[in-house]
């Protein structure tokens, strides 16, 4: 049976890598019986506009062609309107840089994503909804505060066009200042806010971030829960010694680390903070985080 998808294509993803590979990748899908209509993005936020308008016109199958940022924008075009409507399906052609979300299913990236489309594999997926002072956003991978968000912010603002070197420079800048601070919040409606200082907090739907870092090894995409990971105020030497653990998930065994399955997080922040959400760096005054169980179907 033929399947029809709206392919939202970000040719600039992966530093232009997507533009070089996309025609061949789409051709393979068409040869396998996938019917595609293309919509190419031309600016940041354009994929959100495309998805929002297309959902309103009746499209329910979407293909994110690019990186994590492309799928993040599509999700925020589908929601919140899809909360009250028919559940959409999102598929992926991971031709960007990070492509973290699909690592929960396979390390084969493009090959796995292509086969999932051609064979019709589908999985339910939770969507996380963040309410902040300026509005609402949705995501399917993770949101982080503290050190991880600091590194991403410095990289974007100071070393944006330097590739892997830019990431390393940002990492060293943040190691030098190592700002361990509190992000007051309540978990699952607990009466007392947690105001302890920490290195970072992450609120996860899936396991991986930054490509290969397994920040939340216990996360499941369809369990109806936020996998909340907290790492306390570890020092520089301790962080350097334990960096490998961020890649195999063993960092959560550190004496300063904690994990909590949650259905709701209430933030009690005094001001906006830098956050990284599905690879995007934003400055938000976060208020509330909730789960929309099984609100999305994914081809993976």
Angle, vertex CA 35, rays to CA 1 and CA 8, nearest 5 = 135
pLDDT value of position 163 = 67
- CA dist 43 and 212 (Å) reads 27
Phi-psi region of 195 (alpha: psi -120 to 50; beta: other; left: phi over 0): alpha
* CA-CA-CA-CA torsion sign (131, 49, 125, 11): negative
β-strand partners of 239: none
Nearest partner of 132 among 146, 143, 117, judged by Cα: 143
Domain 139-294, CATH: 2.60.200.40
Query: 3-class SS at 249?
Result: coil
Express each pLDDT in 108-138 by its tens digit: 888 999 999 999 999 999 999 999 999 999 9
pLDDT value at residue 2 = 55
Domain borders along the chain are 3-121, 139-294
The mean pLDDT of 70-78, rounded to a whole number, is: 97
Quick one: fold of 3-121? Answer: Rossmann fold (3.40.50)
- Range from 72-86, 96-110, 196-210, 255-269 carrying the lowest mean pLDDT: 96-110
Task: Give residue 199's pLDDT.
Answer: 96
CA distances from 62 to 8, 147, 171, 196, 250 (A): 7, 33, 35, 41, 35
Q: Residue 242 half-sphere exposure, CB side, CA atoms within 13 Å?
A: 20
Q: If 0-12 CB within 10 Å is exposed, 13-18 middle and 19+ buried, where does residue 300 land?
A: buried
Cβ proximity of 287 and 276 under 8 Å = no
Q: What is d(CA 78, CA 47) in angstroms, rounded to the nearest whole number?
A: 10
Question: What tokens appear for 241 in the block?
Answer: 């010694």
Q: In whole angstroms, what is the distance from residue 291 CA to residue 24 CA?
A: 37
Question: pLDDT digits over 155-193, tens only?
Answer: 888 987 776 688 788 888 999 999 999 999 999 998 899
**Tens digits of residue pLDDT in 14-69:** 888 899 999 999 999 999 999 999 999 999 999 999 999 999 999 999 999 998 88
Q: Cα 223 vs. chain centroid, distance in angstroms? A: 17
pLDDT band with cut points at 50, 70 and 90 for residue 1 = very low
Confidence category of residue 87, pLDDT binned at 50, 70, 90: very high
pLDDT, mean of residues 281-296: 97
């Amino acid at each position: 049976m033929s399947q029809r998808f709206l392919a939202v294509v970000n040719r600039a993803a992966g530093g232009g890598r997507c533009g070089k590979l996309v025609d061949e990748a789409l051709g393979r899908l068409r040869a396998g019986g996938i019917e595609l209509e293309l919509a190419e993005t031309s600016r940041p936020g354009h994929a959100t506009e495309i998805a929002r308008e297309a959902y309103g016109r009746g499209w329910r199958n979407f293909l994110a062609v690019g990186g994590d940022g492309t799928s993040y924008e599509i999700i925020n075009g589908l929601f919140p309107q899809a909360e009250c409507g028919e559940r959409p399906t999102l598929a992926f052609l991971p031709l960007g840089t990070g492509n973290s979300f699909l690592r929960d299913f396979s390390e084969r990236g493009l090959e796995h994503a292509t086969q999932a489309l051609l064979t019709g594999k589908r999985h339910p997926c939770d969507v996380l909804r963040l309410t902040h002072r300026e509005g609402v956003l949705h995501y399917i991978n993770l949101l982080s505060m503290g050190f991880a968000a600091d590194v991403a912010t410095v990289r974007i603002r100071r070393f944006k066009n330097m590739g892997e070197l830019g990431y390393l420079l940002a990492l060293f800048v943040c190691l030098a200042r190592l700002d361990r601070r509190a992000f007051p919040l309540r978990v699952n409606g607990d009466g007392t806010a947690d105001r302890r200082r920490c290195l970072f907090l992450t609120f996860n739907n899936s396991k991986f971030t930054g490509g290969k870092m397994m920040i939340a090894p216990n996360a499941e995409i369809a369990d109806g829960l936020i996998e909340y990971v907290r790492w306390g105020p570890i020092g520089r030497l301790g962080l350097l010694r334990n960096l490998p653990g961020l890649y195999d998930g063993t960092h959560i065994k550190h004496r300063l680390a904690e994990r909590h399955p949650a259905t709701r997080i209430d933030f009690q922040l005094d001001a906006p903070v830098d956050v990284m959400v599905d690879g995007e760096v934003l400055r938000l005054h976060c208020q509330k985080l909730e789960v929309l169980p099984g609100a999305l179907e994914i081809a993976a």
